[in-house]
Amino acid sequence: MTDDTSNPAALSRAGDGTSRPDHAALAREVARHCAAYRDPVPRLALRQVADTLLPYLALCALMLWAAANGHGAWMLPLAVPAGGLLVRLFIIQHDCGHGSFLPSRTANDWLGRALSLLTVTPYDSWKRAHALHHASTGDLSRRGTGDIHTLTVREYLALSRWNRLRYRLYRNPFILIVLGSPLNFLVLQRFPSGVGLPWRTAWRDVLALDLALAAMIALLALATGGIGPVLWVLLPVVSVAAWIGGWLFYVQHQYEETVWEGPEAWDFHRAALGGSSYYVLPRVLQWFTGNVGLHHVHHLNSRIPNYRLQECLDGHATLGEVGRLTLRDSLRCLGLALWDEEARKLIGFSGLRVAAAQGA
């Protein structure tokens, strides 16, 4: 393979030891550019809270009123824009977890915890698990924290038939995203995972949110005449947000030319730039998703607030070229499931026979 450091796409394809350091150097050079955009801008942050939170609360109030007065079915389509706004609120909470949304660490933490009541995501536990995800993305020896479980071809072939079936079921898009994403937000996050936190701290974080959610739901039920209208709004809105968020999380690292390395070759900056996608979305979808599609920029420097990611991308040509996925491109990612260590790319189960033959 010829080394082409002028071609950012080659970051994802480099397989020889001589080219890898040059690509890592390019990634570090881009990371230095990104560092100039890490300072929060309070005016932009507060405007984003206002233009997201206020319409979200208005839509939910309208849906609750309609459900309480027997017109819930007519207002159910509003769960789509409300779910989109909830994704945007989650991105704000996400930035608070990185300490990037507001200048004050204390303000970030309190805003992040307050938003937990809407995103139903325990702030401190999620914050710790997500930090571990950033520290290990693309490292084959540190999979399993805050990511989508991905096996190599060799690991899959070494499984028993039963465990192969289990993995195939897990990687099925319907189970992983359609069923799995709402299940994760509505049910699994009601229990502490303990990732990176002492169990006592994890229980306190999760149980505090669970109690607060129970109190909020009880008050809303009293105000609307029963639990039915509340669930009629809560379940579809959170489910829509979970589907959007689950899909975004999937395509951020699960695309053909992503980067996975063993611990001896892993480089943080190369994994960030070459192993995180640039999801090119229509402007309205980019707004609802809080610029999270510019995920390679975010992984290069997680202290850049979401409202400055586009500014950072526009300032360096490489960032606009590497890891690009359009909506059409992203649909092809659905069939990917295994990391082929020989071809150095993600493949689907349909390519398993060829990969196994090449690795034999």
Quickly list DSSP for 74-137: HHGGGHHHHHHHHHHHHHHHHHHHHT-SSS-HHHHHHHHHHHHHHH---HHHHHHHHHHHHHHT
The owner of tokens 């809303």 is 220
pLDDT at residue 201, as a whole number:
77
In the prediction, which pLDDT does 355 show?
A: 66
Question: What pLDDT is recorded for position 359?
Answer: 58
What's the pLDDT at 22? Answer: 58
Other CB atoms within a 10 A radius of the CB of residue 33 amount to: 16
Q: Where are the domains of the chain?
A: 8-150+175-336
pTM score: 0.90
What residues form DSSP beta bridges with 279? 325
Closest CA to 249 of 155, 117, 126, 142: 126
Question: Which among 284, 285, 189, 297 has a CA at the least distance from the CA of 252?
Answer: 297
Residue 340 parent element (H or E): strand 336-340
Concatenated DSSP letters of 263-312 = TTT--HHHHHHHSS-EE---HHHHHHTTTTTBHHHHHH-TTS-GGGHHHH
Q: Is 196 exposed, middle or buried (0-12, 13-18, 19+ CB in 10 A)?
A: middle
Listed in sequence order, the residues at least 6 apart from 289 whose beta carbon sits closer than 8 Å to its beta carbon are 84, 87, 88, 91, 244, 248, 281
Alpha-carbon distance values, 122 to 52, 188, 206, 247 (Å): 20, 11, 6, 20
Give 10-residue mean pLDDT values along the chain (360 residues).
42 45 79 96 98 98 96 95 98 98 97 97 91 91 85 95 97 96 94 70 87 97 95 97 97 93 91 93 97 96 97 95 93 94 92 68
Backbone angles phi, psi at 339, to 5 degrees: -90, 120
Distance CA 268, CA 266 (A): 7
Amino acid at 239: S
